[in-house]
């Protein structure tokens, strides 16, 4: 069982197919949801071979209660945040997100995407103005995308990779002065005898083939140590 952040849904489905094709008889089962929801499941006793989180903080929380032996943690990808609006939206600049009367949706402050979004808004100096327009806090980045796509919000902040799977949305890029990178980290959690399978899938994700799949879906290589 592989627990993976919602923003990893598409690449991890592709990784599942590729891994199963290379390992006949192996069935990779995915549980895809917001990182903090997966962390809550894991700390409440859910069993998983591997957890791939959209940040290191959420993984830290899980490993405090479920320490894992050996060097099983690996940073495996990075991403960036963008503002998302409907393709036909008149909004063009980030400063406009603080205009009175707009409906803004963010992932909750306890969600990796929400923390990254607020860090970016802090660096832009517009967090207070944008949060004054906050219509809702979502459990995952998928909730942000859904609200904007359905017209229930005028704008949100999500990951750049999300735009490829959301053709009705358009991105407003952060300036180069915003130094916020989403760092994805995984850890093998499974006890024996399934630890070997978790370790093998983790190696596949961080290996050349896995990294090629992640790049295909818009993710960047992990930052250098």
158 is in an annotated binding site: no
Q: How far is CA 94 from CA 84, 106, 187, in A?
A: 10, 14, 35
2 is in an annotated binding site: no
The whole-angstrom separation of Cα 119 and Cα 104 is 16
Residues 158, 132 within the same domain: yes
The whole-angstrom separation of Cα 17 and Cα 217 is 15
Where in the sequence is the domain holding 112, given as residue range(s)?
Answer: 81-173
Taking the chain (225 residues) in runs of 10, the rounded mean pLDDT of each run is: 95 98 95 95 92 95 76 90 97 96 96 97 98 96 96 97 92 95 92 72 96 97 78
Q: How many domains does the chain have?
A: 2
113 is in an annotated binding site: yes
DSSP string computed for 126-194 = -HHHHHTTEEEEESSHHHHHHHHHTTS-SEEEEEGGGGGG-TTEEEEEPPTT----EEEEEEE-PPTTT
Residues 90, 135 within the same domain: yes
| Closest to 2 measured CA to CA, from 37, 47, 39 | 47
Q: Structure pTM?
A: 0.91
The answer to whether residue 225 is domain-embedded is no
141 is in an annotated binding site: yes
The confidence score (pLDDT) of residue 186 equals 97
């Amino acid at each position: 069982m592989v627990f993976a952040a919602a923003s990893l849904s598409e690449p991890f489905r592709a990784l599942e197919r590729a891994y199963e094709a290379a390992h006949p008889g192996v069935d990779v089962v995915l549980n895809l949801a917001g990182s903090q929801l997966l962390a809550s499941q894991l700390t409440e006793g859910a069993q998983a071979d591997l957890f791939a989180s959209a940040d290191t903080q959420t993984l830290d929380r899980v490993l405090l209660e479920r320490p894992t032996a050996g060097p099983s943690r690996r940073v495996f990808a990075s991403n960036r945040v963008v503002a998302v609006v409907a393709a036909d939206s008149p909004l063009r600049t980030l400063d406009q997100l603080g205009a009175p009367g707009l409906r803004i949706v963010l992932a909750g402050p306890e969600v990796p995407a929400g923390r990254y979004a607020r860090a970016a808004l802090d660096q832009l100096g517009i967090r207070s103005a944008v949060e004054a327009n906050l219509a809702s806090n979502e459990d995952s980045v998928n909730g942000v995308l859904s609200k904007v796509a359905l017209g229930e919000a005028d704008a949100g902040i999500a990951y750049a990779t999300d735009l490829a799977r959301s053709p009705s949305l358009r991105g407003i890029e952060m300036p180069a002065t915003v130094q916020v990178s989403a760092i994805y980290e995984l850890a093998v959690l499974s006890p024996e005898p399934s630890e070997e399978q978790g370790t093998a899938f983790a190696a596949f994700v961080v290996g050349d083939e896995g990294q090629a799949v992640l790049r295909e879906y818009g993710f960047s290589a992990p930052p250098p140590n």
